[in-house]
Amino acid sequence: MGLLRKRADGPGGERFLMREKLLSIGDDFWIENDQGERAYKVNGKAFRIRRTFVLEDTSGHEVARIQERKLSIRDKIAIERGGDTAATVHKALVGLRDRFAIDVEHGADMKAHGNVVDHEYEIERDGDTIATISKKWFRVRESYGVDVAAGEDAPLILAITVAIDSLTTRD
């Protein structure tokens, strides 16, 4: 398909193609792998009071639910799996605009930093980069890539990316 520019990192990780600006519409869209094949579907539930997205595998099974929480001063988005909260994404309290804290229920917390609005940022855990988000790898307009490190939970990372996108598109 010619969508992908050459990978800069080593083998073992996964790279996905995300579309920009689709979250604000509330439509469904597919996340593709670096071969141009459908990998996950983001199902936008536009007519709810709280913004909700469901990440589904190619068979239509829910792998994560991404839901806004407006009970606090700062907007938060919860990522649920199997009815339980797996992680909560919120803007960090620091003065920097492009920092997000990711509170993970059963694991080490993560943080996202970089130019989030322009889709050029990293997600880190314990000082290690576990995902890189960039527009540089794909030649498709209004798209960006999510490069997930080997051994990481790709659906969770993709759900976090959708959550961050949702928190930044309406500001």
d(CA 119, CA 96): 16
Judge whether residue 28 has pLDDT over 80. Answer: no
Identify the pLDDT of residue 129: 97
What confidence tier does 158 reach under pLDDT thresholds 50, 70, 90? very high
Count Cβ atoms below 10 Å from residue 61 Cβ, excluding itself.
7
Identify the pLDDT of residue 75: 77
Domains of the chain, CATH where assigned: 14-169 (2.40.160.200)
Range picked from 1-5, 22-26, 134-138 for highest mean pLDDT: 134-138
Identify the pLDDT of residue 124: 97
Judge whether residue 108 has pLDDT over 80. Answer: yes
| CA 121 from centre of chain | 11
Higher pLDDT, residue 140 or 94: 140
8 A C-beta contact, residue 16 and residue 4:
no
pLDDT tens, position by position, 134-148: 988 777 777 889 999
Collapse the DSSP code of 143 into the 3-class scheme (helix H, G, I; strand E, B; otherwise coil) and give the result.
strand
Q: Which residues are CB-neighbours of 68 under 8 A, at least 6 positions away?
A: 50, 51, 52, 75, 76, 77, 166
pLDDT tens, position by position, 71-91: 555 678 999 999 899 999 998
Judge whether residue 6 has pLDDT over 50. Answer: no
Judge whether residue 95 has pLDDT over 70. Answer: no
Judge whether residue 25 has pLDDT over 60. Answer: no
Judge whether residue 159 has pLDDT over 60. Answer: yes
Mean pLDDT score across all residues of the chain: 81
d(CA 10, CA 91): 31
